[in-house]
Amino acid sequence: MLGTASVKSQNQNLSTLGDSAFEAGNFKLAKKFLQRDIKKDTIINSRYYTLAAIFSLFNMPDSSFFYLKKYMKKPVIPEMILSDPDFYNLRKDKKWLPIRNILAQQYLSNNPNLEKEPTIELIDMNASNMAFNKVIENSKKTFGKSSKQVDSLNRLKSEINFTLQKRFMEILDKTGWPKISEAGNLASQSAFQIFENSDLITQKNYISLLKNAVDNKEAPALHYAIIFDKIAVAENRKQSYGTQTKFNEKTKKDEVYPIEDEKNVDKRRKELGLGPLSEYLIEFGIRYKLPIK
C-alpha cells in the first residue's frame, strides 16, 4: 500500500503533466491528466481553473462553468479570470454575465480608485482580442501554417478584431485614451493590445491620444514607441525607437528592422523615458550594439 507521501507525489506528478500539456497546447492530454488528478486529490484549486479553461477552448460551456464555479468557491484573483482569453467561448453564454459582474465588483472593490467604465469593458474586450492564440499556435504545429484549420481560425480572429476595433474607437472618441489613474494598469495594457492589433489607419488616427497620455504619465512610454514604430514599418519607413523585430529565415535569428538615424536611437529613447535599445532587445535574444558615430 502506498504511503501518504507517495500518493501526494503521484498527484503532483499528474498535476505537473497536466499543466505542461496545457502550456504545450495539447488540451486533450491536459484534460486527461487533470481529471484523473482531481479524482485523487481536490485540495489544489488551480486544477479546476485549468479544466475550466480547457472545456471552454473545446466549446463545452456547461463543463467549463462547472469547474469554474468550483474554482470560485475559494478566494480568487478576479482580474485573472476577467482577462483570460481562454474563456472567450463562455462570454457568449448567458451564464457568463452574473459571473462577470461578481468578478468586476470584486476587482473594483480591490481597486477603489478605478472607474467602472471603460475599465471593465476594456479588460473584457482584450480577453476577446487575445482569444484563440493558443489554439492557432497549436493548429500551426499540428496542421501547418497554411492549413485550412489555421486559415479558418485566422478569419474568425479577424472578424472578432474588426468588431473590437470599432467599439474601441467609440470609447476613444468618447473618453480619450484610458488613463492609468482612472482605469488602472490592466485596462491600460488592454487598450494598448487592442490598439496594437488595429489597422494602420486607426493607429495613425488615434496615436496622438496615446502620446498625450504618455506625456501626462498616464500610459507607458513603450506603448507609444511600439505603435509609432509599427506605423513606420507598415509604411516601409525606418523606425525610430528600435522596437520592431523580424525573423531572418536565412540566419534563423531575430533581427531589428532598419532604424532612422540609428546612432541617436538611444538619445530618442531616453527623451521618451525608455532605457537603452540593447537592454530592450535582450528579451528577443538579440545582441545589439550602437553603430560607431
Per residue in 134-162, pLDDT tens? 788 888 888 888 899 889 988 988 899 99
From residue 202, give the alpha-carbon distance in Å to each of 119, 192, 194, 232.
Answer: 21, 13, 11, 14
> What is the structure's pLDDT at 33?
66
Question: How far apart are the C-alpha atoms of 248 and 256, rounded to whole Å?
Answer: 10
Output 21 or 158, whichever has higher pLDDT. 158
In a domain, 12, yes or no: no
Q: Are 88 and 127 in contact (CB under 8 A)?
A: yes
Number of independent structural domains in the chain = 1
Q: What is the mean pLDDT of residues 164-175?
A: 96
User: What would the grid cell of residue 64 be?
Assistant: 467549463
pLDDT at 259: 97
For residue 250, is it within any domain? yes
pTM: 0.85
Look at residue 293 and tell me if it is in a domain. Answer: yes
pLDDT of 132 reads: 84
CA distance 128 to 160: 7
pLDDT surpassing 70 at residue 86: yes
- Print the domain residue range for 278: 238-293
- With respect to residue 198, please indicate whether it lies within any of the assigned structural domains: no
pLDDT band at 25 (very low <50, low <70, confident <90, very high): low
Looking at the domain assignment, is residue 282 inside a domain?
yes
> Rounded CA gap, 230 and 15, in Å?
40
Please write the tens of the pLDDT for every residue from 245-262: 998 888 888 999 999 999
pLDDT at 12 over 60: no
* For range 65-89, the mean pLDDT: 95
pLDDT at 282: 94
Q: Is residue 21 part of a domain?
A: no
How many Å apart are CA 155 and CA 150, to the nearest integer? 9
pLDDT in tens, 94-141: 999 999 999 999 999 999 999 998 999 999 999 999 988 878 888 888
Q: How far is CA 217 from the centre of its chain?
A: 23
Residues 263-291 have pLDDT tens digits of 999 999 999 999 999 999 999 999 998 88
- Per the prediction, the chain carries an average pLDDT of 89
Q: Within a domain: residue 274?
A: yes
Residue 209 grid cell: 491620444
pLDDT band at 8; cut points 50, 70, 90: very low
Q: Is the dihedral of CA 228, 233, 239, 241 positive or negative?
A: positive
Burial class (CB in 10 A: 0-12, 13-18, 19+), 270: exposed
Per the domain annotation, does 279 fall within a domain?
A: yes
Assign 111 to helix, strand or coil. coil
| pLDDT the model gives residue 135 | 82
